Structure formats: structure tokens, C-alpha cells
Structure 1
Amino acid sequence: MITTVTLNAAIDKTYYLPSFPMGKVSRVQRFHAAPGGKGINVAKVVAQLGVPVTATGFVGGMNGEIIKQMLTQMEIAHDFISVEGESRICLNILDEANGTSTELLEPGPTVNDAALKEMEVRIGELASRSKIVCFSGSLPAGVPKDFYVKLVSIAKEAGAYVILDASGDALRFGLEAKPDMIKPNEDEVAALLGIEVTDEDALQKAVETLLQKYEMDRISVSLGGAGSLTASKGSSYRVTTPKVEVVSTVGCGDSFVAGMAVSLARNLPLEEGLAMASAAGTSNAMTDQAGLIELEEFEQLRKQVQIDRL
């Protein structure tokens, strides 16, 4: 089983507008709502790829109940901890005239100490029966900046392979627990090492340095439409993805993580995992919903991913 952890779960709402003029009233004719937050997006793609998954994290209020109800309707197992306050709504406004995407993200509820302790216990329970645990996304109010250190340590002690997809202080502190895999961007790699990354050669060296410093299994760095760079023990890979018509990039990184998690759960070689992860991220970019892939399209893309060993 794969467990995904979303400490700041959300309802993702997408508004489709012919145009989005600033400072004027816009009437929404079409919209879509789905359970969201980075870890939940991972869970949705894992489920679509046919691997058992359980989503956990914090939810609050009526929005939290709606998140759980929607996951149940999608036949995705969940085991959330309820807190006071309302889970956030994340709004994505798609301007169809110029192809832009504007995101508005609420902060979410404040988590108290009792809920933090409960989450530590819950992670231990779920990790003990999971092969992979994915920690994804930001920390809600009330959660210490170093909380991922505890959770990653608990999951690793339970025997799970841990993927951490976070940014800023959450990532910086989380690295202290030595997760097995992280998925930073170029800027985060540079910030973690306190250096300037000027080109792909410098990025490769920086990623390999990070990998060795924190004794990780692999690091994947997204390069957007240009593909990705992955370093593992003793080898680095440059991945080029097929050119597609991008509808929205929201959730592409989460879909990449899901593909990698599924490949690990199935004991696939790293190169096959990179193809699966890249195809999932690319397929998601061709949709207007985060955490959605089209399986036939995914399989075609998987064959078109180019992987070069550096």
C-alpha cells in the first residue's frame, strides 16, 4: 500500500471563464470541484494507476467533511484527523482567452498540539503497513516548521520508503530526517546548498552533492516542459518529455510523485520509474484538473519519454 499525507488538505475549485478581466464582475458558467492538496492529488493518480492507497492528513469543518465524502465517492481510502476550523478552498481561475491560470489559496485551519500528537501515532500505524509514504505540501497554522522531521522519522522507523515533496523551511528541516527521495525545483536546490546554479551541469553537481549529504536514494528536479533531472546512487539521468498541448500545470508535480511511488511499490527499475513518473506528469498537464490522467494517453506518453544517463 501507498500512504499519502496532506497536512493542509483542500477543496480544489476550478472556474472556467471565457475571459477574466480584473476589477469587473465575472459570471462563472462552468466550474469543477474536487478534493485537493498535494498529497491528495498524489493519491488520486496512484488510485488511477491501480495501486492501493490511503490518504491521511488534517481536515476541518464542513469543507473537511466534503473532502472525505468526495474521496469516498472516488473509492479512495482515507484516514484523516479532524481539527477545529475549516479546511481551505483553493481556487484556480482559467482564463480561456489567453490561457492563463490564476490561483487563490486559502490558509486552512489552525492545528493544536493534541492533533499533532494524534498525527504522529497515525503515521506510525499507516507506515507500518505501507511500502511507500508520501509527504506532500505546506504546513497549516499551528504546525511547527520541523514537523516533517518527526513524521519522516516515524515512517522510516516503521520500515516505509519515504518521499518528501515540500518547499521552504518544511523541506529544509525535513531533510534532517533523511527521506529516501525529494522533488525540489532548481531554486530550492540552490537555496539548500547556498549556491548559485547557472546551468544544467551545475544543477547536476548540486543535486549529486545534496544526495550524498543527506544520504538519500534519489532526487528528482523538475525542469518544467523541458523534463527533469534525477540523481540516484552512482548515476544521474536527464529526462526529456514529449511535447504536448498544456492545459494546466497544476498537479503535474504531484502526478510525477505518484508515478514514482507506484514504480517503487512495483519494484520497477529507476529508468522505468522515471518514464512512469514523467508520463503521469505530462498526462496531467493535458487536463484541466489536478491529479487526473488519462490511462491510454499515459501509456502512449510512457513510451515516448526519453531518458539519457549522464
Structure 2
Amino acid sequence: MVMFAVAPEGLTSPRPNTPRTPTPTPLTTLGNLCVDIVLNVPKLPPPDVHDRKAYMDRLSASPPDKQYWEAGGNCNMAIAAARLGLHCIAIGHVGNEVYGQFLVDVLHDEGIGMVGMCENTNVESASASYETLLCWVLVDSLQRHGFCSRADFSKDPAFSWMSKLSEQVKTAIKQSKILFCNGYGFDELPPGVIVSAVEYAVEVGTALFFDPGPRGKSLSAGTPEERGALSQLLRMSDVLLLTSDEAESLTGIENPISAGQELLKQGVHTKWVIVKMGPRGSILITRSSISCAPAFKVNVIDTVGCGDSFVAAIAYGFIHNMPAVNTLAIANAVGGATAMGCGAGRNVATLEKVIELMKASNLNEDDEFLDELLDENLDVQAIKSLSKLVINGSENQPNCVSLQKVVSELLPKLKLTQLQKKVPC
């Protein structure tokens, strides 16, 4: 099955006798396409797996109104990236039912192309294993979240019948500057298929981004195939993105900077390790430098989709060869703007909200926390930190980069994208 929500540049057939060089697609996501069903519930699902399965079956028995549906998974990242002006392709599988059509329509409306995973399969399109993956996003009265999907109740990936990459998928990867994978992709795709995509991306020179997410811990204790695929992703990725807890889980090192440096040592192609720290901001670690950026102060409504939005802006900075501190600043702004809304999918940060947040320039600076992180003997040549103040650092202390300077460099780019989006095609 091959579908295009928007015909991607370079993947459509040119007119006869008019050969042209395909235009590279900045960003392609692999797998993790799902429809979120967002419901308010009196209490979250029970912890027992059998009780949770029964709970989900009761929910599924009466499909909720379409007003509760939302694009989820890697759609969050692709939508946020598209709103920043990046040309995005989503590689994945959706079924032929109403949920699949909904997802394709949302991607189309956001200007995102889609390529189906497989050309041929023996699985009947009416089979449950062929259906679009649903994720029930349950929110209780205290705004706590619970998640469940059919992938939670099977040892095999939801689309375990997939065995190889189609030629269309390979073409999409080859024509992309970045291939993004995350740990939730293992809920849908067999490890062998993910490894094939990784190896092909490396072969054709497409940069690989990987965010293991909470699945990193379970994958590291999973099947030999899962452990091997996780190891391959950690070693071969150009950019790794983790929370501080996830970095500690994978390395056994508590300090997020030291953990990032260890992941760099283990990597073959790794250029950046980025540690996300929520309201405390983010850190970008290279082999020779550390860059830190506090988060922007926002009125947090919902944190779902913030991490995905953050990654989209990191990709934006990577593609445009922006300085590390500038990249972190825009990523924190995009993640913060998403937190100001309710839910993910089409509710992720708009360009207008990002610009508004950057203009306000209200940082949540915590010098004491930063000093604690940098207190260890860190073997780096340069340490930089985004700040409202500009101070030249001493040994193992950061040189402060002016927030005003960074904002003055970012805003013209964002405003130009905003103008381009308003001009009718």
C-alpha cells in the first residue's frame, strides 16, 4: 500500500522527457502513526494488565464522536515541523477505515505527505492487524494522563506482518535530510524493519534522529532483536534526544551532561546528544562543547506533545545550521508554546504562539541548578548558556549568550516563514 496525502517533491512522476533532480525533503518520520482518542474519565485505567484490557475493550465497544479524535504519535512532530516551514513526509501504515482516512486528511491539511510502509502484503485489509492504531488518551479530574492501545497487550508489534521496506519508502528516506525514529515505533514495526531503515539511512547519507522515550528502558531489557535494534539506533544516530531520566536509564549516569558525553563516546555517527529537562530547559552536548538554554516561562495547560514539538524545532535548527544555543532556544519556545494549548496533534504550537513567546523573552533561569550540573570535571572546550545577562565564564563555567541577540536572529526567520504561509500558492 502506498498513499500520498500530499505528493512529495521528488516522489511524483515528472513529465516525459523532462528529467529533474529531486528536491530533498528536510524531514521524514518513520512509523508511530496513530489516532489519539482523547477522553475525560473519572479515574485512570487500572494497573493490572487484564483489567486494563477489559477497560479498553469497553471504551472500544462504543466509538466516541469524531470531536474526540486527534492525530497522534509522530504526527505531532511532523505537524510542528511543518508549521515551522519544513517539508515533511510521514512514513507509516494506516488502515482503510474511518480512522485511517481521518489521519490522512489531517496530514493533508497540514501540508504533510505520507508514504505507506508496504507495497504487497498477504494480510486482509479487513483484518484487525491491518487497522489504524488507536491510542486512548485518558485524562482524569486532576489532569493526569493515562494511555492505552492494542499494542500494549501483545508481545508482537501491531503490524508484525511487515517484513521489508518498499522502494517508495527507500526513495522517501534517500530524498530526506533527516529520518526521525522514536521508541514507540517498536510498538508498530518489527525490529528488523526498523534496523533496515536505519541501515539504509546511513547508506544514503540521511541524518538519523532518535528519541527512545520511555520505551528505551523496556527495549534495553527486551528480546535480542529489540536490544540489537536499540543498540543500532543509539550507535548510528546523528542526533539523540532524551529526558534526563532516560539518559540515566541507558547509561547508569545521573548527571545528564556526563550521561550525554558517554552516549557520544558510544556512538559512531553521533554529533549531538540533547537532554530535555522540561521546565528547567535543555542541554545540547557535542564532543567539544556544552550548550544550555533555560525554558521559557509559560502557563502550562497540557504537556502532551511538548517533547515531539521540541524535536521538530531541533530538526529545524539542524537543517538550517543554526548555532546550538539558538537551536535550543527555538526548541524550548516551540515546546513551551505547545504546553500552553490542550493536547497534541493539531493543537501543537502554532508559529504565531512561538513568535509571541520569543518576543516576551521570559526565561525560567536557575543558575544554581546549572552550577550543580557543571560542577563535575567536564572535559570540554566550550560551555555556553542562554541568559538575559551576558557574562564571560571562567573555567567550567558558561559564557552567557544574550537572549536578546538570539531572539533578534530567530525572529526574522520565523516571520518570513509566517509571511510565506500566508501567501496563497
Shorter-chain-normalised TM-score: which range? 0.7 to 0.9
Alignment of 1:1-310 (within 5 A): 1-15=25-39, 17=40, 20-21=42-43, 31-37=67-73, 39-62=74-97, 63-81=99-117, 84=123, 85-95=130-140, 97-107=141-151, 109-112=158-161, 115-119=162-166, 121-140=167-186, 143-145=189-191, 147-166=193-212, 167-168=215-216, 169=219, 172-175=230-233, 177-193=235-251, 195-197=252-254, 202-215=255-268, 216-291=270-345, 292-302=348-358, 304=361, 307-308=385-386, 309=398
Distance in 2, Cα, partners of 1:148 & 1:117: 9
Q: In the superposition, relative to structure 1, how do residues 143 and 132 fare at CA in structure 2: closer, same or farther (>3 Å)?
A: closer
* Aligned partners of 1:148 and 1:174 also within 8 Å: no
Distance in 2, Cα, partners of 1:207 & 1:22: 34
TM-score, structure 2 normalization: 0.63
For residue 20 of structure 1, give the secondary structure of its aligned residue in structure 2.
coil
Distance in 2, Cα, partners of 1:29 & 1:158: 44
RMSD across aligned positions (CA): 3.0
Identity %: 25
* Aligned partners of 1:55 and 1:79 also within 8 Å: yes
For residue 32 of structure 2, give the secondary structure of its aligned residue in structure 1.
coil
Gaps in structure 2 of 5+ consecutive residues: 1-24, 46-54, 124-129, 152-156, 220-225, 366-384, 387-397, 400-425
For residue 244 of structure 1, give the secondary structure of its aligned residue in structure 2.
coil
For 1:262, the aligned partner's letter is: Y
TM-score, structure 1 normalization: 0.84
Gaps in structure 1 of 5+ consecutive residues: none
Q: Number of matched residues?
A: 298
Distance in 1, Cα, partners of 2:44 & 2:310: 33
Q: What's the offset of the Cα at 1:177?
A: 4.9
Q: In the superposition, relative to structure 1, how do residues 6 and 229 fare at CA in structure 2: closer, same or farther (>3 Å)?
A: same
**2:392 corresponds to:** none
Q: In the superposition, relative to structure 1, how do residues 299 and 149 fare at CA in structure 2: closer, same or farther (>3 Å)?
A: same
For 1:298, the aligned partner's letter is: V
Residues 174-214 of structure 1, C-alpha deviations (whole Å, 9 max, x = no match): 33551100112223322322x241xxxx2211211211220
For 2:42, the aligned partner's letter is: F
Higher relative contact order (CA 8 A, sep 6+): 1
Q: In the superposition, relative to structure 1, how do residues 22 and 13 fare at CA in structure 2: closer, same or farther (>3 Å)?
A: closer
* Aligned partners of 1:153 and 1:177 also within 8 Å: no
For residue 256 of structure 1, give the secondary structure of its aligned residue in structure 2.
helix
* Aligned partners of 2:253 and 2:259 also within 8 Å: no
**2:416 corresponds to:** none
For residue 2 of structure 1, give the secondary structure of its aligned residue in structure 2.
strand
Q: In the superposition, relative to structure 1, how do residues 60 and 141 fare at CA in structure 2: closer, same or farther (>3 Å)?
A: farther
Residues 223-263 of structure 1, C-alpha deviations (whole Å, 9 max, x = no match): 12222222123111222112212111111111011001112
Look at both structures and tell me which one has the larger radius of gyration over its CA atoms.
2
Distance in 2, Cα, partners of 1:45 & 1:158: 26
Distance in 2, Cα, partners of 1:30 & 1:130: 33
Distance in 2, Cα, partners of 1:93 & 1:299: 31
* Aligned partners of 2:165 and 2:197 also within 8 Å: no
Q: What's the offset of the Cα at 1:145?
A: 3.2
Q: What's the offset of the Cα at 1:9?
A: 1.5
The structure with the largest strand share of the pair is: 1
Q: In the superposition, relative to structure 1, how do residues 69 and 196 fare at CA in structure 2: closer, same or farther (>3 Å)?
A: same
**2:405 corresponds to:** none
